[in-house]
Amino acid sequence: MGIETKTLGQLIDELVIVNIRIWHLIDKVTDGTATVGQAQDVQKFNSQRAELVRAIDRRMGERDIGGKLHARPA
């Protein structure tokens, strides 16, 4: 299922899961127990998080213009 076809609830659920994964990985990176692959996963999950946030913003009636959110004109 593509990100644009997911419900708002599904997007938020995925965002929560991705945030938890990032949190756990950052803990491992910080304490030095992360593998190289886990450290690289932080970037992958950050990209995924940004994509989910943009999709949620679009679903909530906002648009991203140059990194700033603006209300969609009526």
pTM of the entire predicted model: 0.76
Query: How many residues appear in the chain?
Result: 74
DSSP three-state, residue 48: helix
pLDDT in tens, 28-47: 999 999 999 999 999 999 99
What's the mean per-residue pLDDT of the chain?
A: 88
Q: How far apart are CA 64 and CA 47, in angstroms?
A: 16
Residue 1's pLDDT is what? 77
Residue 17's pLDDT is what? 98
Do residues 49 and 60 make contact, with C-beta atoms less than 8 angstroms apart? no
Residues of the chain with pLDDT > 70: what percent? 82
